[in-house]
Amino acid sequence: MKMLKTRKSKQIFYGVLWLLCFLMVNWPIGTMAQRFEPYILGMPFCLFYFWAVYSLLILVGVLVAWRLFRD
Amino acid sequence: MENWVQVLIIISVYCVIVLAVGVFSREKGAPSLEAYYVGGRSTRPFVAYFTYVATFHSSFAFLGAAGKLYSSGVDFFATMTSCIVSPMMIYLIGRPVWYLGKKYGFMTQGDLLGDYYDSKLLRTVVAVVSLIFLIPYLQAQIIGGGHIFESVTEGKVPFMWGCIILYAVIIGYILLGGFKAVAWTDTVQGIMMIVLIWIAGGIILGKVEGTLDWSNMMRTMAEEHGDKLLIPLEKWPIFMTTFLSLFGISIYPPSFQRFYAVDNPKSLKWLAVTSPIYLIFFYVPIMIIAFLGVIHMPGVAAADQIVPLMLSKYTTPLLTGLVMAGALAATMSSADSQLHAASSIFTLDLYKTLKKGNISDKQGIFVGRVTIVVIAFIALLLSQFSSSLIMSISAFALGGCLQVLPALIGALYWRRGTKTGALSGLISGFTVVLITQFVWTTPFGISISSGAWGLLVNVLVFVAVSLMTQAPSEAQIEKFHGYLASINQQQDEMKHTAEQITEQG
């Protein structure tokens, strides 16, 4: 029972974490990043934002696989 | 030596290398059906990774993606959401499929669904729908390959001959080596693609800007072509839902076959979360080339040609040849997997069902090989009479393949899903995809992809009809859900025990 509870709470935690990152590239949060200033790593902010959030989403995916996925 | 001759020599060397990889990686002796179609379920993680990502990337990645970035800017990033989200299906669907395939010997989608729902009709419908969508998709690859040959040889190798050469090479290694040849050539092609596109992006940036620092290019883009860097508000609905349709790419037959082919479900777990690294970073140099094209080569009517045009203008014939061999690799790595999957569907889901009994390995492989030649010939023939209808079919093919998802969820996760529910959901989803693609393109004024509309209706019909009809037998539920649940429980218990030991220690 304790084992199931632990897994359930892990599922909720990592599920919410992944969903938050996913929401960052979508409306309405993503639309707030639609501007050029400031330039970061030579990129306008809107481009940098997309690459950064997509990279974050990949990292969170790896974390989810490591901590939650079976096998 | 003329430029096109140099380019042609490089591409010819590439074709010979690919054929050689196919020959050397083939199964020694007479292969079994399992070896020919799913590589004997022994594909190692490295090859599994590259065969998946190379199959995912078609000639669109090299030519079409740059064209989209060149003509309409970062709208294209909607595809990247899909590159990250859709591979999750490799774990969610692929893992249980691997266990069931290993235990019951499944090799296709139809195998698994037909067995769970105990329906030859469902198996046939799934097979026919898959073939309907695979052939135009395959044809689009041949058209892409033919155009690559034609453009890099300045028309000296005509489109038709380009298509024929491409298919002769692909058929050659599939006939010889089956899945292993496809997987190993995909690996070589996958590595080639990413290495060459990064080299091309770097060299073009260095030549045009005089430095590898892209700040100047980015500032010019923002100041002079700012509209290409921003997503207009009205495009956000489609931006946010494209990934739904593109879920299809992770469960369409060639990807699905790879679920069965890996040697260990661990490979699928890590493939699900690490394949986006390749997919996303493939588009960085593509973006550089496209943006430099916007600034330094404006007004190109055929936007898909921006990569070869930039290569010809700013690099040597040698590099152009190499990179275009990379583009051919992208085409071939998708086409070979599609052709091989189409052959397995015909042989295992249609021929075997029609024969009403088991077929020997020798007979099955013979039928599979004949199918490969016939389907390739049909696709080759169709590619010479390309119409806008066929191109539209290939554009929404992934949305069509996605319609199998609810039936799969029934077989893997939802015990209440029934045969009638799965069949009616599949047929209604497929019909809605066609209607929203060609007739009622923006239902209720909402512009989301036809695959997403189809999936929505499919799920509703599947759930409603399933709840109204008799659930599958206990024995059938136990065979699938019971088996998967026992594996999960076993693994959870082992993990829990290991954690307790660690805590105590």
User: Tell me, what CATH number does B158's domain have?
Assistant: 1.20.1730.10
In a domain, B298, yes or no: yes
Touching check for A1 and chain B: CB below 8 Å?
Answer: no
List own/partner pairs for B354-362 with CB under 8 A and 24 or more apart: B361/B30, B361/B31, B361/B32, B361/B33, B361/B36, B362/B30
Q: What interhelical angle do B317-344 and B45-56 show, nearest 10?
A: 100
Let me know if residue B447 belongs to a domain. no
Using 50, 70 and 90 to split pLDDT, how confident is the model at B46?
very high
Give the integer Cα–Cα distance in Å for B249 and B402.
8
Structure tokens at B420: 């009638």
Residue of A26, A48, A62, A69 best to disrupt the B interface, most CBs of B under 10 A? A69
d(CA B220, CA B218): 5
Domain that holds residue B39: 3-388
* Rounded Cα distance, B190 and B56, in Å: 10
Residue B494 lies in a domain: no
What is the token pair recorded at B467?
A: 């709840």
Residues 6+ apart with CB under 8 A from B438: B392
State the Cα–Cα distance between residues B199 and B319, nearest whole angstrom.
9
Asked if B354 and B149 touch (Cβ cutoff 8 Å), the reply is: no
Q: How many CA atoms lie within 13 A of B502 on its CB side?
A: 6
User: ipTM of this model?
Assistant: 0.91
Establish if B218 belongs to a structural domain.
yes
Short-list B477, B469, B443, B471, CA closest to B457: B443
Asked if residue B78 belongs to a domain, the reply is yes
Task: With both helix axes pointing from N to C terminus, report the angle between B94-104 and B265-296 in degrees, rounded to the nearest 10.
Answer: 140
Tens digit of each residue's pLDDT (9 = 90 or more) over A6-43? 788 888 999 999 999 989 988 888 888 899 989 999 99
Q: Do A50 and B218 touch (CB under 8 A)?
A: no
Confidence of residue B4 (pLDDT cuts 50, 70, 90): confident
* Burial grade of B301 (CB within 10 A; 0-12, 13-18, 19 or more): exposed
pLDDT in tens, B251-310: 889 999 999 999 999 999 999 999 999 988 899 999 999 999 999 999 888 888 899 889
Nearest residue, CB atoms, B214 vs list A36, A42, A50: A42
- Asked whether residue B114 is domain-assigned, the answer is yes
Cβ–Cβ gap B215/A39 under 8 Å: yes
How would residue B483 be classed by pLDDT, with cut points 50, 70 and 90? very high
Q: Tell if the CB–CB gap between A58 and B273 is shorter than 8 Å.
A: yes
Are residues B236 and A7, on separate chains, in Cβ contact within 8 Å? Answer: no
Q: Is residue B69 part of a domain?
A: yes
In a domain, B56, yes or no: yes
| Residue B350: partners with Cβ closer than 8 Å, 6 or more residues away | B124, B127, B128
What is the total count of domains within chain B?
1
